Structure 1
Amino acid sequence: MHVEVLAGDDWKILQEVRLRALKDSPAAFLATGEPSWGEAEWRTYSREGAWIVTRSGDQVIGILHCIRVDDRPTDERHLESVWVDPDHRRTGVLRTMLQYLAAIEPGVRILMAWILDGNDDARAAYERLGFESTGERQPLTKPRLCVEERLRLDRQAAISDSTDS
C-alpha cells in the first residue's frame, strides 16, 4: 500500500474515487451534487482540507478527507468522506490512512467523525480503531432525512493504551 495527500491539481483522481465511493455506498454519504459537478467544483473541493488516498499499485483503494473546523480546538480534525474499496476492507487501509495522517499532522490530538445511523460497518471500523461515541447526535434533512452521531478518538489515549498492552 502507498499513501499520499492529493495535490489541488489531482482533482480528477478525487472525482474518480469519490464517484466510485458514492456508487458503491450511496447510503453511507450525504452527497449533494458531485455526480453533476464540472471541473471548477472538483478543483475547489480538492483544495478543501487534506485528501488522503491509499493505493494498491495504480488503483486508489481508500480515501479520507481531513478538515479543520473553525469553531473547534486547533488540535482537532474532522474526518469526512472516508471510503475503502470493498475488496480491501478489513485489511488495514483505514488504519494506514490514520497513521499517515498522524505523521503529517503530529500536533493533532483529537479526531472526530460523524457516522450516519445504519452505517454499522463504518461504525464498527472506527470502534476497532478506538473511536468512541461522544453522545452527540444531529438530525439532518438535506439531502435526505437521517441522523448522525459523532465519534471521537483521542490519539494520545490510544497511543497510551497500545503501549500499555
Structure 2
Amino acid sequence: MTLRPTAGHELRDGGGGAMELRALDADDWQLLRDVRLRALKDSPAAYLADYEDEESWPEANWRRRFAGSLWVVAQEGDRVFGLARAVRVDERPPDERHFESVWVDPGDRGTGALRAMLRYLEDAEPRITDWLVWVLNDNVPARKVYERLGFHPTGERQPLADGSGRSEIRFRFRTDGAE
C-alpha cells in the first residue's frame, strides 16, 4: 500500500473502519499536546519524558516541537489514536531520520496504525533510506513490534542520563532493503 503525505488520506484498518493519516503543523499544537499527554499517561515507562513536565509546557514549547520534525497522526473521525514523528538529527547523515514519539492507543494496537504511520513518513521523505529508532532496553514489546516492521538492532546502545542503569538500543530500517 502506498500512502501519500496529503491531508485527509484514508485507508482501511484491519477492523474495517476508516483510518485517516495526516501531517500536523505548528497550528495543530493543541492536538499534539493532547495526544502526546495521553501517550505519556498511558505508557510512562516507554518514554524518557514524563507527563508532569510536559503537561505544564506553554504553547511556545509545543510549537517548537515542530521545528525539524514531521508529525503524523492516525485517526478515525475526530478520534486520534496514533502519533509519530520523523526527526532530522543534525550530526547524522542527511539520508537518515529518527522515528520518535511513537504511540498507538492500546485499543488500536495491532490494526496496522504504526506501520501506516511509518509508511506515511517514508512517502513524505522519499530520499530517506535509513529510519532509526531508539528503544528502551527493557521495553520488550516495542522491540518485538519494531522487529516485525523490519527494523534490526544496530549494536548501538546509549545509557540513560537518569542514573537508573537503563539504556536504549538503536534499531534501523533500510528502505532500500540493505541491512
TM-score computed with the length of structure 2 as normaliser: 0.84
Q: Aligned-pair distance for 1:144? A: 5.4
In the alignment, what sits opposite 2:120? 100
Q: Aligned-pair distance for 1:155? A: 1.1
- 2:76 paired with 1:56: yes
Give the secondary structure class of the aligned counterpart of 2:123.
helix
Question: Where in structure 1 are there 5+ consecutive unaligned residues?
Answer: 159-165
Distance 1:96 1:113 in 2: 16
In the alignment, what sits opposite 1:127? 147
Alignment of 1:25-36 (within 5 A): 25-32=43-50, 33-36=53-56
Q: Is the 8 A contact 1:66 1:78 kept in 2?
A: yes
User: Deviation per CA, 1:84-121, whole angstroms, max 9, x where unpaired?
Assistant: 00001011001101111121111011000000011111
Q: Is the 8 A contact 1:50 1:67 kept in 2?
A: yes
Q: Is the 8 A contact 1:30 1:143 kept in 2?
A: no
Q: Is the 8 A contact 1:2 1:56 kept in 2?
A: yes
In the alignment, what sits opposite 1:13? 31
- 2:62 paired with 1:24: no
Identical aligned pairs, as a percentage?
52
Question: Where in structure 2 are there 5+ consecutive unaligned residues?
Answer: 1-18
Greater than 4 Å deviation, 4+ residue runs: none
User: Across the two proteins, how many residue pairs are aligned to each other?
Assistant: 159
Decide which of 72, 83, 88 is 2:103's aligned counterpart: 83
Greater fraction of residues in helix = 1
